[in-house]
Amino acid sequence: MGKKRKLAQGGARPAKLAKHGPPTSSAKKHTAAPGAKLQQKKNQSSNSGAPLQQQQRHAEPTIPFSPEDKILLVGDGDLSFAASLVEHHYCADVTATVFEKNLEELVEKYPQASDNIAKIESEDGCRVLFGVDATKMGPFTNKSGRGKGTGSENPTAHGIMDRIMFNFPHIGGKSTDVNRQVRYNQELLVSFFQRAIPSLAPGGSIIVTLFEGEPYTLWNIRDLARHSGLQVERSFRFQASAYPGYHHARTLGVVRNPAIGSTKRHENIEERR
């Protein structure tokens, strides 16, 4: 069926790396090295008797992008993740989007957002877009091509994003019923997949970050991906420490003493073509 595009889920075990096409030198640093280092630690641990769980805890984080990637962040909350990509991972082409319609509404929910926007927009190729609904967003594309034989223009849209990331998607407190919450969040993911696919460049990937355990496992993201024409390429643990300055932002805004699960994972998903 040709080359596939990916959706990634972070998990506790290292998995097969996603195929991103010909890697740049910086991309190799993020993709080729972790596997070798994990094997080396395993061999060392067999001599020292250290448990496998401890090896994984101290394994080098998987970073699913390189500084040269065109990155689209969907529903980025207080924008601290985008700010970390720009400031600490030297990403120079980041489009960060938020659901809130303007800066005033965003700052009311996340007072720290203004500082993060300043960090993002300090890089010329990075920007913040307001009022972007993950289930309704238009495609991010370039148009090219000419009509054959007539000389007339016949534009064809091509997706431009190498990585599209949706960290901790959730519809918020729409219902207190668990079954309804599951269904609403499944609908959110399916609509997001459908809207994200046209924005992907060839070989690009969609990355979704979820908490592990129920009710998130009830969403069956792998099945949702397959029904959307995608497949899960790899799963790896999300390590917040790899993104200095990043803080998990609740859908409802700042909450005192939030009770949040500690284990998170990425899903790396690829389009079937």
Give the number of other Cβ atoms within 10 Å of residue 113's Cβ: 24
Q: Which parts of the chain register pLDDT below 50? A: 1-4, 10-48, 146-152, 255-262, 273
Q: Which one, of 217, 187, 220, 222, lies nearest residue 206 by Cα?
A: 222
Residues 226 and 270: beta-carbon distance below 8 Å:
no
pLDDT at 265: 66
Query: Could you tell me the end-to-end alpha-carbon distance of the chain, in angstroms, rounded to an integer?
Result: 5
DSSP single-letter state for residue 89: S
CA 2, chain centre distance (Å): 24
Contact 83, 119 (CB under 8 A): yes
d(CA 70, CA 79): 17
What integer pLDDT is reported at residue 219 of this predicted model? 95
pLDDT for residue 194: 96
In degrees, to the nearest 5, what angle opens at C-alpha 194 toward C-alphas 155 and 272? 85
Looking at residue 172, what is its pLDDT?
Answer: 80
pLDDT of residue 243: 96
Residue-wise DSSP of 51-79: -HHHHHHTSPPP----TTS-EEEES-TTS
- How far apart CA 135 and CA 86 sit, in angstroms, is 26
Residue with tokens 């994990």: 38
Cis bond upstream, residue 215 (ω within 30)? yes
Angle at 218 between CA 7 and CA 31, to 5 degrees: 25
Structure confidence at residue 177 (pLDDT): 85
Nearest to 266 by CA among 9, 15, 62, 12: 9
pLDDT at 171: 87
User: What pLDDT does 50 receive?
Assistant: 52
Place of tokens 């949040």: 260
Distances (CA, A) of 154 to 148, 150, 160, 183, 197: 8, 10, 19, 40, 22
What is the reported pLDDT for 261? 44
pLDDT score for 40: 34
Q: Both tokens of residue 263?
A: 């284990």
What would the pLDDT profile of 169-220 be if each residue is shown by its tens digit? Answer: 998 876 778 899 999 999 999 999 999 999 999 999 999 999 989 899 999 9
